[in-house]
Amino acid sequence: MRAGQLRHRITIEKPGQTQDPETGEMGPGWEVVATVWAAKRPSSAREFKQSQAGQSEVTGEFQIRYRPGIDATMRIVHKGQIFNIEGVLPDDRSGREHLTLPYSEGVNDGS
């Protein structure tokens, strides 16, 4: 993977507990796992039509350098927009060079 392709700064988050700044009460929220550089590729119109036929919600993919521990329970935040990780695909060669993260557009829950 060439470094020039990794031009989007993304934050990977996992479900966790956060503290309400006003009440101090703990509740469900999102914790930052990492902020990394990524390549972003929206699905082509053809891929989008095929995914719609299969009832898949994947609208594109992010590609990052290999990082252990990333899974589909996590989400990506990019430029204030939420993306749900729909899977984690290792590279074809060694499985440890990069990860492809197919995504669907998520809902901003205010956190």
64 located within any domain: yes
- pLDDT (tens digit, 9 = 90+) per residue, 14-48? 999 988 889 999 999 999 999 999 999 987 544 44
Position 92 scores a pLDDT of 85
59 located within any domain: yes
Position 46 scores a pLDDT of 47
Q: What's the rounded Cα separation, in Å, for the pair 9 and 3?
A: 13
29 located within any domain: no
63 located within any domain: yes
Q: Domain limits at 51? A: 3-16+40-105
Round the average pLDDT of the chain to a whole number and report it: 85
- pLDDT (tens digit, 9 = 90+) per residue, 80-98? 999 999 999 998 888 789 9
Which pLDDT band, with edges at 50, 70 and 90, does 69 fall under? very high
Which residues sit opposite 84 in a β-bridge? Answer: 75, 104
78 located within any domain: yes
Q: Select from 29, 18, 11, 107 the least CA-distant residue to 67.
A: 11
Q: What's the rounded Cα separation, in Å, for the pair 93 and 60?
A: 22
Extract the runs of DSSP E, i.e. beta strands, from the chain. 8-19, 26-42, 60-65, 75-78, 81-85, 89-90, 98-105
Position 68 scores a pLDDT of 95
22 located within any domain: no
Position 73 scores a pLDDT of 96
Domain count, the chain: 1
